[in-house]
Amino acid sequence: MKFLIPGGAGYIGVHISCMLLKNGHDVVIIDNFSNSSIDSINSLEGLAKKKVTFYEGNICDQSILIKIFQAHKFDAVIHLAALKSVSESILKPKEYFYNNCEGTFCLLGVMRSYNVKNLIFSSSATIYGIPEYLPIDENHPLSCINPYAETKLLIEKELKAIALSEQNWNIVSLRYFNPVGAHESGLIGENPKDIPNNIMPYIVNVANKEMPYIYIYGNDYDTPDGTGVRDYIHVMDLAESHLLALNFIGMQVINKRDITPDKDNIGFHAFNIGTGEGCSVLELIETFEEVNNVRVPYQYSSRRPGDVASCYANVDKSSKVFQWTAARSIKEICFTAWNFKQQHR
């Protein structure tokens, strides 16, 4: 089968692409390198031992999408392309709404024109806002507190509307919690261009002595050690969930799990993708130090606006439907993240 992956050169995209290629499928990637580089494509090809068809461009550009769809017949689209920094979205909301929302609407229009109606969408747990209860299930109220989350929620609303108003759309929205870690080979992983937005690149940069210490924002939360608790999921587990989502909508892309493809799973479906377990920031740092025998100095700072004490998933729905749970531990997350950094100094 052949899959289009907008944003496929990014951190999550290369891991999904790698897993699809290893399972005998073809991928076509479009990416504008806003937070990635051609190096990730080269590493992916080396790891998969297979050439990858790649287009440099933005999904807001309808002409390049038409060119791609004219050249390839796709079985599905795995849509990852987005600006993704919560803090930056507050400073540049217009840019986020244009790139994330308009880009998605442009992509959907071209998909419709070429009768490609199978879509896996990269959503986010940020659409739940401040948790009203824990763990968070898919029925939790949706309430955004930043423009990035608003873009994800707006896109989900559009996808639901399309699924209701048009026939034969198969859409799965995967609501990510906190992807971390790297491929076990160390060839692909998280390597942001600029100042990291996520915690793990900060940790590895401090461990590598590129920064003197990491700030822990808040040590007075109502949590076991006072620091924020999050649901950290290994990126390879996250990648596998996309293949199982494709199985769910009728494509036999992976034989590893006991899930029967069902072409009757039309419409819109949302799933939490996490581990179902919380890990504090301090626990993550201490585990990283223990596993890799390195020091990660830290300093406490005041809480950031909008941060919550705890946020972790209820994964009963994905576990039941996909017959799947995240398998890799926090220790594996820490080991693979440092292994990747060691190979990309």
Tally: H helices and E strands in the chain: 12, 14
pLDDT at 262 over 60: no
pLDDT, position 194: 74
The proportion of the chain whose per-residue pLDDT surpasses 90, expressed as a percent, equals 88
Residue 126 is given by DSSP the state G
Instruction: Provide φ and ψ at 54, rounded to 5°.
Output: -135, 140
pLDDT, position 122: 98
Choose the catalytic residue: 148, 202, 221, 298: 148
∠ CA 160-86-91, nearest 5°, is: 110
Instruction: Quote the CA–CA distance of 290 and 206 in Å, as a whole number.
Output: 15
Could you tell me if 215 and 299 are in contact, meaning their C-beta atoms sit under 8 angstroms apart? yes
- The answer to whether residue 148 is catalytic is yes
| Average pLDDT value for residue range 277-297 | 98
Instruction: Quote the CA–CA distance of 296 and 327 in Å, as a whole number.
Output: 26
pLDDT at 338 over 70: yes
pLDDT at 6 over 60: yes
CA dihedral for 260, 161, 240, 19, sign (positive or negative): positive
The proportion of the chain whose per-residue pLDDT surpasses 70, expressed as a percent, equals 97
pLDDT at 331 over 90: yes
pLDDT, position 214: 96
Instruction: Quote the CA–CA distance of 343 and 250 in Å, as a whole number.
Output: 38
What's the pLDDT tens digit per position in 126-172?
999 999 999 999 999 999 999 999 999 999 999 999 999 998 999 99
CA dihedral for 191, 118, 265, 269, sign (positive or negative): positive
| Average pLDDT value for residue range 323-334 | 97
What's the pLDDT tens digit per position in 303-314?
987 788 999 999
pLDDT at 108 over 90: yes
Residue closest to 18 by CA, chosen among 233, 174, 235, 181: 235
Instruction: Quote the CA–CA distance of 196 and 214 in Å, as a whole number.
Output: 11
Domains of the chain, CATH where assigned:
2-180+232-273 (3.40.50.720), 199-229+276-318+327-343 (3.90.25.10)
In this structure, the strands spanning 53-56 and 267-273 are: unpaired
Q: Which residue blocks in the chain are alpha helix, DSSP H?
A: 11-22, 38-48, 62-71, 86-91, 93-96, 103-113, 147-165, 199-207, 235-248, 281-292, 316-322, 330-343
Could you tell me if 31 and 54 are in contact, meaning their C-beta atoms sit under 8 angstroms apart? yes
CA dihedral for 114, 119, 122, 125, sign (positive or negative): positive
pTM for this one?
0.95
What's the pLDDT tens digit per position in 37-86?
999 999 999 999 999 999 999 999 999 999 999 999 999 999 999 999 99
pLDDT, position 345: 77
| Average pLDDT value for residue range 232-256 | 90
Q: Which residue blocks in 72-198 are alpha helix, DSSP H?
A: 86-91, 93-96, 103-113, 147-165
What's the pLDDT tens digit per position in 247-260?
999 887 776 555 55
Mean pLDDT estimate for the chain = 94
| Average pLDDT value for residue range 114-119 | 97
Length of the chain measured in residues? 345
Instruction: Quote the CA–CA distance of 27 and 246 in Å, as a whole number.
Output: 14
- Collapsing DSSP to helix, strand or coil, 72 comes out as coil
**Cα 11 from chain centre:** 8
Buried b (16+ CB within 10 A) or exposed e, 250-275: bbebbeeeebeeeeebbbbbbbbbbb
- Collapsing DSSP to helix, strand or coil, 71 comes out as helix
pLDDT, position 259: 52
Residue closest to 64 by CA, chosen among 72, 44, 13: 72
Quote the tokens at residue 17. Answer: 């692409």
Instruction: Quote the CA–CA distance of 55 and 28 in Å, as a whole number.
Output: 8
Number of C-beta neighbours around residue 291 at 10 A: 18
